[in-house]
A and B are shown apart, each in its own frame.
Chain A
Amino acid sequence: MIDITPLLVKAAWVTVDISARALFFGFFIAAALVVMRTARLPPPRWLARAYISVVRGTPYFVQLLLVFYGGPAIGLRLDPFTCGVVVGAFNIGAYMSEAMRGAIESVESGQNEASRSLGFGRLATLRYIILPQAAGLMIRSIGVLAIILVKNSSLVSIISVVELTYQAQRLIGSTYKPLEVFTLSALMYIVIIYAVMGMVEFLYRRATRYTFL
């Protein structure tokens, strides 16, 4: 009998690692998509919209397989972990850009007018007035996406990244105790996801402090 807990904890850390990196890079991809979608010239807008449509219209699982197995044919060779981060980032980035855009658009138009009438330009208005307010509005939706990202990371087991789900499957091969192993791995997902929710609430309260005074 081997002790499965340390092995699962180690694998859970890989799940956290791969999700955190994907979220980090996804954030910048999302920001770039938002900028493209508000561009004055149409081509960047079309490109961003086409990209978002493709990501939303295909399963994450397929995207993963496509990049990992199809990538080498066009010279894109990624190790499994990097592939998980890249596909995760590009996937979540598309959804996150929609959350960001929605938050920015839901800041009242009067805020923009007040700022512009003081003499602030477009960028300064975005920086001092719109984004600080949009941040509060987008944090919770980004939190939901982060949770989806963590859950989706179980799919990278198919490209043999030794994360929580893959490790669980391997341990079943040696212990023949699927109920115990999967229950334990499920509990670990719950712990990770509750930690994410806690952080999201913390950030949300920080970003919206002013409304409670």
Chain B
Amino acid sequence: MTQTTDTPMVELKGVKKRFGDLEVLKGIDLRVDRGKIISIIGPSGSGKSTLLRSINNLEVIDEGQILLDGVQVNRPDLKGMAFERHINHIRQNMGMVFQHFNLFPHMSTLDNVTLAPRKLKGMETKSARELGMELLERVGLADKAQAYPSSLSGGQKQRVAIARALAMRPKVMLFDEATSALDPELVEEVNQVMKGLAEEHMTMLIVTHEMGFARDVSDWAMFMDGGVVVEANTPDHLFSHPDQERTQHFLRKHLGTQT
């Protein structure tokens, strides 16, 4: 299913999504090449989280097309179990990190990381354990392998959640406000892990309120408001000289409240 290097890793064509009468995505087009990092910023209710959740079908879109590495994610032609099988397979190739971590509280940290490769890929306990330890090492939490989520800090939980998503060796990582629920002093440790992934050329889509981080790490930045992409550009351009008035207004307000 892997395509040539020209095939975008993620592509959205005319994506529309309604909640009842409210149209939250009004025709979004987006192209993410492999190894690139896209940040999506915008006010609450702009549709940026819905956009991200649509990519792995946690939100079902009403119109348009979503492709992962050339394979269509949304498949209105498939019904019931056929779609289930299709989407479960697609999701194994996408890692998602949530604002509220959503670690499995009834499992140790190591089990959180190894559950999916063991059950979905049939990996043996021993190799799953090695993989799990390697990933926990990478997020700096190898010493917490046997700990349960309830004993971890928010930053540690989010780092485990990242390790859990990486365990399926995804082609792309989706971050939905990964640091928004964290105490300010814990944000940096999660950002460091994400920067590490960026250096390894992981394809990433990052919905964030951290303007400084978005600017540092991304190849491309998008400002969304009212269900449309108002402006998209290189981070330097978007953050320093935004073309659109709405972007300027948002950044002024947001950067103003941060200082």
Q: How far is the CA of A213 from the CA of B149 in the complex (A)?
A: 9
| Chain B: number of interface residues, binned into ranges | 20 to 34
Cβ of A137 to closest chain B Cβ, rounded Å: 11
Asked if residues A120 and B102 are in contact (CB atoms below 8 Å), the reply is no
Instruction: Give min CB distance, B55 to chain A, whole Å.
Output: 10
Nearest residue, chain A, Cβ from B53: A113
Main secondary structure of the interface of B (DSSP, over half): mixed
Which interface class (under 10, 10 to 19, 20 to 34, 35 or more) fits A? 20 to 34
A-contact bits for B145-170, CB 8 A (1 contact / 0 none) = 00110110000000001001100100
Q: Is A116 an interface residue (CB 8 A)?
A: yes
Whether B91 contacts A129 by the Cβ 8 Å rule is: no
Among residues of B, the one whose C-beta sits closest to the C-beta of A132 is: B106
B119 at the interface (CB under 8 A from A): yes
**Chain A: interface secondary structure?**
helix
B94 sits at the interface (CB 8 A): yes
Per-residue CB proximity of B79-91 to A under 8 Å, as 1/0? 0000011001101
Question: Are A210 and B91 also in contact (CB < 8 A) when A110-B100, A118-B120 are?
Answer: no
Residue of A121, A136, A211 touching B88 (CB-CB under 8 A): A121
Q: Give, as a whole number of angstroms, the nearest-CB distance from A125 to chain B.
A: 10
Q: Which residues of B contact A120 (CB under 8 A)?
A: 88, 116, 119-120
Subset of 29 A-B contacts with CB under 8 Å: A110-B100, A111-B102, A113-B58, A114-B102, A114-B103, A114-B104, A115-B104, A116-B58, A117-B56, A117-B58, A117-B91, A117-B94, A117-B165, A118-B91, A118-B92, A119-B88, A119-B91, A119-B120, A120-B88, A120-B119, A121-B88, A124-B119, A133-B105, A210-B106, A210-B107, A211-B105, A213-B148, A213-B150, A213-B151
Q: Which residues of B contact A (CB under 8 A)?
A: 56, 58, 84-85, 88-89, 91-92, 94-96, 98, 100, 102-107, 115-116, 119-120, 147-148, 150-151, 161, 164-165, 168
Given contacts A117-B165, A129-B104, 5 further A-B contacts (CB under 8 A): A114-B102, A114-B103, A117-B94, A120-B116, A211-B150
